[in-house]
Amino acid sequence: MMTKADVTTMIRAKKREKQIKWADIAAAAGLSEVFTTSACLGMNSLLPEAAGKVADFLGLPAEAAVVLAEYPTKDFDRVVPTDPCIYRWYEITGVFGEAFKELVQEKAGDGIMSAIDFDMDIEKVPHEKGDRIKVTMSGKFLPYKSW
């Protein structure tokens, strides 16, 4: 029985072998680059049609498409990550998380930004002091309710 981790390993191998980018896989799926990448890494699921397109594009077995369409278990370590790129994201959350929360609640009320009804885009932007990475996130506001 194939697991999400097995499929992720196969996708990484095909990506390397074919010398393609996540954007190419996302285009084949007909979905965003961030969401498709997350699904290929096992943290989201693709609808069966998109999962089939990814499997076909990469030349994966039919079972891989089934696994890509399965709901994930989002169980990740709760320790400080050591990968420098992921750590910096963790650091940004640590440094700016409270400010983010305060500003969301000041502007929209007591609630949260959804990571379920959510969009994210990542791009490289030239800058005179060195290239920048621009992250744009948009999530549905979910107000807390009283009962």
The answer on 9 and 65 residing in a single domain is yes
**Average pLDDT of span 22-32:** 96
Note the pLDDT of residue 125. 98
114 is catalytic: yes
The string of pLDDT tens digits covering residues 75-92 is 777 788 889 999 999 999
Examine residue 78 and state whether it is found in any structural domain, yes or no.
no
Name the packing angle between helices 48-58 and 22-29 (round to 10°): 130
Examine residue 75 and state whether it is found in any structural domain, yes or no.
no
Return the residue matching tokens 């989201």: 44
Note the pLDDT of residue 112. 95
Examine residue 27 and state whether it is found in any structural domain, yes or no.
yes
The answer on 136 and 91 residing in a single domain is yes
Selecting among 12, 49, 63, 88, the annotated active-site residue is 88
DSSP string of 21-38?
-HHHHHHHHTS-HHHHHH
Examine residue 23 and state whether it is found in any structural domain, yes or no.
yes
Which one, of 78, 35, 28, lies nearest residue 52 by Cα? 28
Examine residue 76 and state whether it is found in any structural domain, yes or no.
no
Of the ranges 65-69, 102-106, 143-147, which one carries the lowest mean pLDDT score?
Answer: 143-147
**Average pLDDT of span 52-81:** 92
Selecting among 49, 63, 91, 102, the annotated active-site residue is 91
Domain total of the chain: 2
Examine residue 77 and state whether it is found in any structural domain, yes or no.
no
CATH number at residue 39: 1.10.260.40
The answer on 95 and 52 residing in a single domain is no
Selecting among 49, 98, 102, 114, the annotated active-site residue is 114
The pTM assigned to this predicted structure is 0.80
The token pair that represents 85 in the structure block: 């790129």
Note the pLDDT of residue 99. 87
Of 17, 46, 69, the residue at which a domain comes to its end is: 69
The string of pLDDT tens digits covering residues 88-140 is 999 998 888 988 998 999 999 999 999 999 999 999 999 999 999 999 999 99
Please state, in angstroms and rounded to a whole number, the distance separating the CA atoms of residues 55 and 146.
Answer: 45
Domain ranges, residue 60: 4-69
